[in-house]
Amino acid sequence: MAQAGKGRLNYRCPSCFMRDLDIDMFYDKEKDEYYCIRCQYTGNEKDVLARNEMVRTRYGAMNKRYTRFDFD
Amino acid sequence: MSEFILNVIHRPEMVPEYSATVTGHGKEEDIGDKKLLTESLDIFRTQQRLAHENGLKVTIHMTYAALFNKEAVEIAKHDHETYGDEIALSLLGLPCEEFREKYKTKDFCIWMFSIEDKKRIVDDVFGKFHDIFGFYPESTGSYYMDADLTNYIKEAYPSVKCAIATCWEEGPKAYHTCNNSWYTLFDGGPWAPWIPSKQNTHAPAADESEDSGIVAIPHLSRDLLACYDGNGSNFGTHPQNVLRGMIYDTKTWEFPYLYNLIDQYRAQEKYNNGYAYNMMFVGPGWMNKMGRWEAPYELLLKSYSDGCKYYGDLKKAGRLTDMTMSEFADYYRKKKTYTEPECALWRDILYGSDKQVFWYTDPYMRAGVSMDQGGAVFDLRPYAAKLKWEVGIGTKHVQDASYPFLIQEKYRAGYFTHYAGEGTIRSAKLSYRGEEVDLCLCRTKAHFSQEGSTRILTLDPVTIEFSDLKVTLQTKEYFEEGRGSIRIERTILNMSRPDASVELNEYMTACYGTTEYPEDMSGILLRCEGAEEKAISYEYRCREESLTGASAVSAVIPAIETKVSMTASDTALGYIKEGYAFSPMFTLGYKKNITDKEVFSTWLRLEKAD
């Protein structure tokens, strides 16, 4: 089995991101999957992107435009 | 008249910080890689173009490596003449073949070198800059500038008047986020421009004798709520931060959060005599053609283009003034006095929680107040001590440049602890017939006002419900300029039973440190001051003392040369509590029985310990 490398983009581990860890994943060409060397996450690009959307659920106001910043 | 000032800073790094792990993955290190140099210059050119197209002036922070690159030098000279850009000198971006050969190290953070090397490097880069441009720079900077470094630069190169000197709350949280591999440990500083003291960069100068001679600006303008709880590099006025945090819509590539962040900073002029500030500082590393993290190059380009456009449109609308760093230093010196605080009343603009915090910084303290916890002080840095804290190789703190805290609710818990012990917080408890309620559980909002030189937070009243009594209480917090104190006033607005009396326990649970891990508390001296003084020298023995009518309750923490005390407006029972090994804290407080319509104040004071 050949060594892993970086994928098309520097996808980070979505599982670690949810615990505030920013870790690039490595890409296993033979299995067509990204994997994290810190935790046990593995997944293909589609799965990574889907989990990145889950990451965003913490940002409840991500798409909101605020016009007031006080409560006066 | 209100003013919103912007500094845009570009750094032509020839070997971007991330290149080794991103673009360079799978290759042997080649610090002189021509392809990398060409791409870095292309990105710098693009960044310059985007700023200028939007009518924005730039401060160009030439790196050491860029000084060896004729093209980078020519771009800087051209843009200085054409657009009025300032040519400045960065102490970031040291890595290049010339630096490696000369200094025989891969270190690249100026504050981590020994003091001898700091001086050598400064002389080297300032000398090289002078050789090329024929003058010494007026602005410089790094992610952090320790006091000894700044003092040396000011002494040797007095033309310097502005520097990027810290990055707000970039400390253990950033370290952890990077899998414990990014050693930028400098929590506890100001989030907006300040005049650093000669003793400690984080602590603003109280007067001319303490003045380091520069105006410091923060590295980026960061979210004052999100950064305190998460990775600072996800929540700042650098479009890359927002992409790094995944705070954009993947379908539309829109990121309203960046504009909310900028606008919330604009709103801070209400609390700072009509002045607000933003800083955007970018290098080339994040904008490489291979993309960065999940973002392709096209999104990176769009984000910087949109960011510059937003600032540019504000300028066109007359709502923003762009300045170079040296212009800003002159402006700031005229605008601010030494003791004038920086205030920020800040709301959550990302998570949808409506949480609100207040930050206050002056030469004597930095304090954070949480309205979601009834106005509790959740972060406190005793700048009054002006702690001499040398950093770099050969000192006690090779990497740790944080200003120590007395209270830090994330590193030392806050109101909530697991099963046992206490966390750091300054709050109050109300007790009535065996029931006890902490104001940390009373969510509210605050309103800012100013009377003379005192900044006042007036919190909306809260109701405390006991089984057969309702108490409506209002908190006001007074930050007295130049005094190093916070006065917290509680007023009982109403009691459902007017003849009832409740016990009010004003307390501060504290310790000291710069990280999550406990420090040695031995030797901290706790005192009930007054006619019959009582004292405890800290030995983790869980002891308590009290004194009716105590004139003050205090703690002297020798390790950080700090004295913290509380005093009361009326006769009350002052008390001190030692902690124990599983709860390495101390508590100072006053207890008083209060009735309907009664007002009771306590002061928290910070001083340098003898």
The amino acid present at B522, given as its one-letter code, is S
- Which pLDDT does position B439 carry in this prediction? 98
Q: Which domains does chain B have, with CATH numbers?
A: 3-338 (3.20.20.510), 364-608 (2.70.98.10)
Q: Is the pLDDT of residue B556 over 90?
A: yes
Residue B563, C-beta contacts closer than 8 angstroms, at least 6 positions apart: B554, B555, B556, B557, B606, B607, B608, B609
- Contact of B247 with chain A, judged by CB distance below 8 Å, is answered with yes
Would residue B419 be called left, alpha or beta, if left means φ above 0 and alpha means ψ between -120 and 50 degrees? left
Can you state the angle between helices B70-83 and B115-133, rounded to 10 degrees? Answer: 70
Segment B482-502 shows an average pLDDT of: 97
Report d(CA A15, CA B518) in Å as an integer: 29
In angstroms, the separation between the Cα of residue B207 and the nearest Cα of chain A is 32
| Count of beta carbons in the 10 Å neighbourhood of residue B489 | 17
Contact B256 A65 (CB under 8 A): yes
Question: Which pLDDT band, with edges at 50, 70 and 90, does B231 fall under?
Answer: confident
DSSP B505-569: EEEEEE--BSSSS----TT-EEEEESTT-EEEE--S---EEEEET-SEEEEEEGGGTEEEEEEES
**Comparing B280-284, B394-398, B434-438, B601-605, which segment has the lowest mean pLDDT?**
B280-284
Segment B126-131 shows an average pLDDT of: 98
- Contact of B439 with chain A, judged by CB distance below 8 Å, is answered with no
Question: Which pLDDT band, with edges at 50, 70 and 90, does B433 fall under?
Answer: very high
A–B CB contacts, 8 A cutoff, strictly below = 104
> Which carries the bigger pLDDT value, residue B16 or residue B305?
B305
The amino acid present at B559, given as its one-letter code, is A
Q: Which of B21, B179, B291 is opposite residue A9, by nearest beta carbon?
A: B291
Helix (H) or strand (E) holding B446: strand B446-451
- Which pLDDT does position B57 carry in this prediction? 98
Question: Which pLDDT band, with edges at 50, 70 and 90, does B508 fall under?
Answer: very high
Task: Of B387, B397, B391, give the one whose Cα is nearest residue B560.
Answer: B387
- Which pLDDT does position A6 carry in this prediction? 82
**Does residue B357 sit in helix, strand or coil?**
strand
Task: Of B425, B583, B445, give the one whose Cα is nearest residue B505.
Answer: B425
Q: Identify whether the C-beta of residue B556 lies closer than 8 Å to the C-beta of residue B579.
A: no
Contact A69 B263 (CB under 8 A): yes
Contact A6 B26 (CB under 8 A): yes
- Which pLDDT does position B285 carry in this prediction? 85
Q: Identify whether the C-beta of residue B568 lies closer than 8 Å to the C-beta of residue B590.
A: yes
Q: Which of B177, B259, B447 is opposite residue A72, by nearest beta carbon?
A: B447
Report d(CA B513, CA B381) in Å as an integer: 10
Contact A52 B294 (CB under 8 A): yes
Q: What is the pLDDT of residues B11-64, one digit of tens each?
A: 998 876 655 555 556 666 666 677 777 888 999 999 999 999 999 999 999 999
* Secondary-structure percent of chain A, ordered helix, strand, coil, rounded to 5: 25, 15, 60
Report d(CA B588, CA B567) in Å as an integer: 10
> Which carries the bigger pLDDT value, residue B18 or residue B291?
B291
Q: Identify whether the C-beta of residue A11 lies closer than 8 Å to the C-beta of residue A25.
A: yes
Report d(CA B251, CA B255) in Å as an integer: 11
Residue B334, C-beta contacts closer than 8 angstroms, at least 6 positions apart: none
Its ipTM equals: 0.97
**Average pLDDT score, chain B:** 95
Give A34's contacts in chain B (Cβ within 8 Å): none
Task: Of B143, B151, B162, B156, give the one whose Cα is nearest residue B198.
Answer: B151
Burial class (CB in 10 A: 0-12, 13-18, 19+), B351: middle
- Which pLDDT does position B30 carry in this prediction? 63
- Contact of A57 with chain B, judged by CB distance below 8 Å, is answered with no
Question: Which pLDDT band, with edges at 50, 70 and 90, does B511 fall under?
Answer: very high
Q: Which of B179, B296, B346 is opposite residue A9, by nearest beta carbon?
A: B296
The amino acid present at B431, given as its one-letter code, is S
Residue B486, C-beta contacts closer than 8 angstroms, at least 6 positions apart: B365, B367, B377, B477, B478, B479, B480, B603, B604
- Which pLDDT does position B591 carry in this prediction? 98
- Which pLDDT does position B286 carry in this prediction? 87
Longest pairwise C-alpha distance within chain A: 64
In angstroms, the separation between the Cα of residue A30 and the nearest Cα of chain B is 18
Give B447's contacts in chain A (Cβ within 8 Å): 70-72
Q: Identify whether the C-beta of residue B488 lies closer than 8 Å to the C-beta of residue B602.
A: yes
Contact B260 A65 (CB under 8 A): yes
Mutate to test the interface with B, among A66, A68, A72 (most CBs of B within 10 A): A66
Give A71's contacts in chain B (Cβ within 8 Å): 347, 356, 445-447
- Which pLDDT does position B462 carry in this prediction? 98
Contact A69 B349 (CB under 8 A): yes
Give A5's contacts in chain B (Cβ within 8 Å): 25-26
Q: What is the pLDDT of residues B154-185, one digit of tens each?
A: 999 999 999 999 999 999 999 999 999 999 99
DSSP B15: S
In angstroms, the separation between the Cα of residue A32 and the nearest Cα of chain B is 17
Looking at chain A, which residue has its C-alpha nearest residue B270?
A: A70
Q: What is the pLDDT of residues B327-367, one digit of tens each?
A: 999 999 999 999 999 999 999 999 999 999 999 999 999 99
Give the global pTM.
0.96
- Which pLDDT does position B552 carry in this prediction? 98
Question: Which pLDDT band, with edges at 50, 70 and 90, does B610 fall under?
Answer: confident
- Contact of B249 with chain A, judged by CB distance below 8 Å, is answered with yes
Beta strands in B260-364 (DSSP E): 275-282, 321-323, 342-347, 356-362
- Contact of B21 with chain A, judged by CB distance below 8 Å, is answered with yes
Task: Of B250, B279, B369, B227, give the one whose Cα is nearest residue B61.
Answer: B279
| Count of beta carbons in the 10 Å neighbourhood of residue B601 | 16
Q: Which of B21, B293, B356 is opposite residue A9, by nearest beta carbon?
A: B293
Look up residue B305 and give its two tokens: 């283009």
Annotated domain spans of chain A: 1-46
